[in-house]
Structure 1
């Protein structure tokens, strides 16, 4: 791709400015752990909502959602709109416990609810998930992007992106991450919306398409002509024309997404640390709901352009659907705008990596060093966290070079969590809703999921006759990964319930304030204070989502 001097200048200028901003707003000579890892618990709801949105939008999502819109159609949008429902759960169900407990990390919650051993296992899982998914695969996606745009080889691009993200994260901490996110999300959305507008204009000029109904008809016609399975609607049927399960059918989404979504949006340290940094409990809850409103946008400015590209450039993109975004940029953006959107892509990548690095620094300091040496001074904890972040980013750089072994980037970020997400979702839901859940059940559930999850990933990735020539294994691997998540969740739930009933119940005093008194207690707590009440805002969001699903 030809990149003008103006575009390069915009990109370089942006990188310098955003790193400088992060260091200026976040760096303090005598930084405390609260300031570095949780921004001094000073964030208000708009910043929290934007940071939740931006921590999730990386180059993976920009490339993946456009590619998904091109290769699968609108059902990919369920990954974005499903997040709105999960953020409602975060704001109403989990955030009150997290904030009132003054947690620094989520493993602290499971220690209080279950046991120190549970906290240790969960802390290790969180660090590994951040390394493997949030940082490793993000760096690979960004490197692929840099290679296609600027001709930089993948290894060099990985080193460059990791280094830039680490600088302002290690020096500035969560405050730097959250404040720069506000700037970056503006650039990101401006670029995505501009590209969507230009793609829509091109549809009218080149294909005579001026309405969404006409676009859906064009997608259906072209898909049938090419013998492909592209759905123009959000809710896709269970079976395709060949009698195979659609991997993004309404059934797969209904069964599998809540498991991934609750793990990611309600229990993952990288995401929830934004809520832990809230100034007040209401800021934390409102910020989560606000993030749910923001998650409506990517379907229109990230998935929809992919579907438009299918009509505009189907033959040019061909089977290389991961090139969808780059083709749109090359065809539609003028010099200057191309640099702006490239800066937005880099912003998205750096946001995800930076948020993950900060969560690792927090976990390493709070869940490792401070537990081993409770009297460790704040200054030592801060530096230990920074060193841990540097070590992990180096490991993630090595892992990121393996990203090409997955069928697609979008599959990778959703299949890898199957090794642990069902168990974590189980123990957190059981933890807040069922007083009978025990520490033995939490440990057994996590160990069980890790064992079967690792075996599943080996069957997916390892080219070995044990997996490839064993029929039932091959049949299981062929099941859409969203349904696999549902199967694992069901097994984890059985493990959790049976083990809990077979072991002594926790003492009431030990779990007081950590479990809701009844399943609907989170809706009944306190009087509704008006339209700004989180419960009212959640209801408004649910109504909007219902209308959108009906229309789309």
Structure 2
């Protein structure tokens, strides 16, 4: 339990964010029912806000809780999901953003219709709504509920409903502008809170040398390695990182509406590209401020300086889902605990608000307007608000099912690994291959999604079966290879008949995107991409 001072700080923070959300959502609008303003902030977002909003939408309470758990259990290994994101953000900036901005689409399903056909748009819209509910909202609720129950002693479902009400209120009323403005503030608070607990953990451990001493003494030096050999107990060998992550990463960062919607609201192409790359630089930090604290907690536990008896289960095993909450109560002095709780709430609220706005956009533009093409802006906004409210209720109903995962981070990546392959396939081939045809993409989405669902069910029905030994990222890679073969084969069987619009939505060569001049000097997207690549190469070499 935490002190009354920290409770007051936490309540004041939530109140501030709600008021800021309402103010941002209402003050920037000329017309509260204008669809362009509500869903895309009037296409007025600049690169700093885009970069911070991308990061805040990605990093939720789930990440703070589950990455600390991963740091305790397997060391820095889970950091691959953070650092590999930088490479996919470079792909987003160089190859995807130009088409998204120039075509003026409001949603990514809209882009698929322009490149392929209407059936592709409908399918992606449905999958995107489902994935937003499950991945971005329900898992975040679950992580937040676990933390708030541990810290405040409030029933998990009660705390989740409270957060759902306050976050849903300003998001549903204010639209994307409210989401992005609050996410920018929440990014700063989230990073500040994470840095505080990292510094306190580091100070308690006594620096880097005690970390090395403890890990060497326990023959666990692999905890400091990002690239592990085949058969590593962490279940994520190096080849899975480089083969499997791009499959889920391209879907998540380049083709998922919840993430890319911040880019679609950019003022222009340069702001969109620079915002995505700015986020890539920020993604360097989570390994050091989200995962490292979990590893430091492991070192403190081995030193006998951190009592984990509260996490002990009846069979003697540690219930490490609660390691981050325990670190807050054991390592952080009163007063600062309130800031840490505010950081956790920042992650939770920003993830949920971003997902709700994307669901509202998808349902309004890609589903409702399909059957009501004459719908007014007011009707679209109203439909979006209703859809966001229903999504909140559905996500809460899914919590008992998702709570069965022993590791929340592994759970979310398991789900993504079965959803992403066909979507990644049709986007990649659509952008880079002229002959990728509409019917081929349509059948790849349908059959690939069905295959992913079947493989997922088999894995859950037979948890000790043949699929149990295959890392989730390799499952994603194998499914992706099948989808690629399927779409290429079908594209030759059903050749593409390009429309004037679709003929402008693929690159004639991989170098074509680099011919755009961009901003001068260090702000140029090509310069920033090169610097980011260099930074990631150095980091992977050092922590190899």
In structure 1, runs of 5+ residues without a counterpart are 205-209
Q: Which residue of the partner structure matches residue 544 of structure 1?
A: 535
Distance, in Å, in 1 between the alignment partners of 2:36 and 2:498 is: 31
d(CA) in 1 for partners of 2:274, 2:501: 29
Q: Who is 1:232 aligned against?
A: 224
Contact 2:241 2:473 in 1 (8 A): yes
Contact persistence 1:75–1:249 (CA under 8 A) = no
1:249-295 Cα offsets, whole Å, 9 max, x none, are 21111111111111000110000000001011100000000000000
| CA shift in 2, pair 1:545/1:155, >3 Å | same
Residues 436-455 of structure 1, C-alpha deviations (whole Å, 9 max, x = no match): 00111111111122212112
1:230, CA displacement in angstroms? 5.3
Answer with 512-521 or 347-356: which moved more.
512-521
Task: Work out which of the residue numbers 510, 525, 535 in structure 2 matches 1:519.
Answer: 510
C-alpha distance in 2, partners of 1:364/1:216? Answer: 52
SS of structure 1 residue aligned to 2:218? helix
Change (3 A) 1:527 1:123: closer
Q: For residues 223 and 63 of structure 1, do their structure 2 counterparts lie closer, same or farther at Cα, with a shift above 3 Å needed?
A: farther
Cα distance in 1, alignment partners of residues 392 and 325 from structure 2: 27
Q: How do residues 449-528 of structure 1 correspond to structure 2 at under 5 angstroms?
A: 449-462=448-461, 467=462, 474-507=465-498, 509-526=500-517
Partner of 1:363: 362
SS at match of 1:500: helix
Q: Which residue number corresponds to residue 384 of structure 1? A: 383
Deviates more, 1:403-412 or 1:131-140: 403-412
Change (3 A) 1:378 1:528: closer
| RMSD (CA atoms) | 1.7
Cα shift at 1:530: 2.5
Residue 262 of structure 2 is aligned to residue 274 of structure 1 = yes
Give the TM-score normalised by the residue count of structure 1.
0.93
Distance 1:504 1:310 in 2: 57
CA contact (8 A) 1:406 1:461 kept: no
1:321 aligns to 2:320 (yes or no)? yes
Deviates further, 402-411 or 188-197: 402-411
CA distance in 2, matches of 1:408, 1:74: 15
Q: What SS does structure 2 have at the residue aligned with 1:461?
A: helix
Of 198, 214, 218, 1:218 maps to: 214
Deviations 1:133-159 (A, max 9, x none): 111111111111111111111221221
1:437 maps to which residue? Answer: 436
Q: Distance in 2 between matches of 1:448 and 1:353?
A: 30
TM-score normalised to structure 2 length: 0.94
Count of matched residue positions in the alignment of Structure 1 and Structure 2: 529
Kindly indicate whether the alpha-carbon contact (under 8 Å) linking 1:181 and 1:351 is maintained by their aligned counterparts in 2: yes
Q: Distance in 1 between matches of 2:296 and 2:67?
A: 12
Instruction: Give the Cα–Cα distance (whole angstroms) in 1 for the partners of residues 318 and 470 of structure 2.
Output: 22
Partner of 1:300: 288
Residue aligning to 1:418: 417
CA contact (8 A) 2:438 2:496 kept: no
What SS does structure 2 have at the residue aligned with 1:159?
helix
Gaps of 5+ in 2: 309-316
Q: Which residue of 2 aligns with 1:353?
A: 352
Q: CA deviation at 1:475?
A: 1.1
Cα distance in 1 for partners of 2:259, 2:514 equals: 23
Q: What whole-Å deviation, never above 9, does each CA across 1:451-494 have from its counterpart, x for those lacking one?
A: 121122212334xxxx36xxxx8112321111111111111111
1:261 matches 2:257? no
Distance 2:392 2:382 in 1: 15
1:312 pairs with one of 284, 300, 309 = 300
Task: Provide the C-alpha distance between the structure 1 equivalents of 2:81 and 2:235, rounded to a whole number of angstroms.
Answer: 12
Task: Answer with 104-113 or 399-408: which moved more.
Answer: 399-408
Is the aligned partner of 1:250 residue 2:225?
no
**Contact kept in structure 2, 1:31 and 1:379, CA below 8 Å:** yes
Could you tell me how far 1:90 is from its partner in structure 2? 0.7
Distance 1:537 1:442, change over 3 A: same
Distance in 2 of aligned mates of 1:443 and 1:92: 26
1:96-119 deviation line (CA, Å, top 9, x unaligned): 100001110000100000000110
Which residue among 202, 218, 239 is the counterpart of 1:200? Answer: 202
Query: Counterpart in 2 of 1:207?
Result: none
Counterpart-to-counterpart distance in 2, 1:272 and 1:220: 43
Q: Kindly indicate whether the alpha-carbon contact (under 8 Å) linking 2:49 and 2:181 is maintained by their aligned counterparts in 1.
A: yes
